Homo-oligomer: A and B are copies of this chain.
Amino acid sequence: MKKINICVIGARSFSAGFLLKFLLQHEHVNINMLVSEKEGEDIEKIHPFLRGMLKKTTESYSKEKVVENNDVVFFHKNHGEFRDHTADLVDYAEARNRPVKFIDLSGDFRLKEQELYKRWYGFEHHRPDLLGKSVYGLTELYREAVKNATLIANPGCYPTATLLALAPLLEGGFIDGDQPIFIDALSGVSGAGNQPSGSNLAIHVEQNAMPYKIGHVHQHIPEMEQEISGMLKKKIEVTFAPHLLSFKYGILSTHYVQLKEACEWRDVYALYQRMYENEPFVRIMDSSDGKTFPEVRNVEGTNFCDIGFVTDKKSKVCVVISAIDNIVKGASGQAIQNMNVTCGFEETEGLPYGKALRKSAP
């Protein structure tokens, strides 16, 4: 079978290393081009866990080479940094009539409203047309759109955990948006990247629990609000409290909401089951025993999102917990899932347990 050619832009980033790790095991992929600001570097030195498996060096950016020689392009760049080049590539591919698929792991094309970029990311966005055309790549919610997309905006890690956790309640009409939505999220250190900052030194993170950007501050908030408001058909705001912890991979997100009406736990469970029953990467847990909750260790290294919840009939409170691996379902794994969908491959191909998940599918 013919393999497609892959280009990774920003090959030095930590999540790019993971993307390559998964792509190496993908049946239909040829890792063709690695773009980095520093060219000529051996990718195995950059990501030493790849040693012995991928003999390639980085090269400098060339619009022409990227578009002419590749079928799928992944962007692993910081927010804002590459947005003009990305737009340029999309234009160029269209002009040349090259059916390249672009999957952007930054936030550059996730928001539909142009003006939000100014407020939340601090830059002017010049391409509202592409914001309109790009597809928000939360696969479970936008699978059909992803199939036909040219530019896929891969979701942020926090929004992935939160939107999958709340979607059934939102879409099922169990929440009306009149009560506040509180999102308390715990992130492992890989979420803090591999560029030194005030908070990602081991000395600051070890033996610590570190809240940051509490309230209505974090740049993942507009993405959550856009999608939640969309599902509610009503503009809402959320309260988001991220915390940095010392585990390496993963997000554990605890959501506090009030249901519109008092209902039984089993009704909520049925709702979640119904929405996700055919999803290979979403696992609903029976937390009604008070013991079985999503935990980071059970999703580490996988593309799963585990979800559990408890309800309190008296207060109508519902607490929904979700767990993902921030680098996999929260970044590179979901990017591959989107590639699989948009390229027509098996959705689980190349991802951890891919084969097993296919076997167990109904």
Contacts and interface: CB of A to CB of B under 8 A. Distances in A.
A210 B186 CA distance: 11
A213 interface: yes
A48 B319 contact: no
A120 to B, nearest CB: 14
A254 B353 contact: no
A248 B207 contact: yes
A270 interface: no
Interface string A141-185: 000000000000000000000000000000000000000101010
Contacts of A25: 353-356
A233 B54 CA distance: 39
Nearest to A290: B217
Contact of A294 (B54, B211, B298, B353): B211
Interface stretch (A78-86, A126-134, A197-205): A197-205
- State the copy count for this chain: 4
A193 interface: yes
A57 to B, nearest CB: 16
Contacts of A247: 206-209, 245-246
Nearest to A323: B209
Given A211-B293, A258-B180, A206 B237 contact: no
Contacts of A315: 180, 237, 239
B53 A357 contact: yes
A52 interface: yes
A269 to B, nearest CB: 15
Nearest to A256: B182
Contacts of A321: 211, 214, 241
A330 interface: no
A24 B352 CA distance: 10
Contacts of A294: 211
19 contacts: A49-B299, A51-B285, A54-B356, A182-B182, A186-B243, A192-B202, A201-B202, A202-B204, A202-B205, A209-B245, A209-B252, A210-B297, A211-B294, A212-B291, A214-B310, A215-B317, A237-B315, A246-B246, A301-B301
Given A189-B202, A246-B246, 12 more contacts: A25-B355, A27-B355, A51-B306, A53-B356, A54-B356, A180-B258, A182-B182, A202-B206, A204-B297, A207-B247, A211-B295, A239-B315
Query: 4 closest pairs, A vs B, by CB?
Result: A196-B196, A209-B252, A189-B202, A24-B356
Interface of A: 14, 21, 24-25, 27, 48-49, 51-55, 180, 182, 184, 186, 188-190, 192-194, 196, 200-217, 237, 239, 241, 243, 245-250, 252, 254, 256, 258, 283, 285, 287, 290-302, 304, 306, 310, 312, 314-315, 317, 319, 321, 323, 353-357, 360
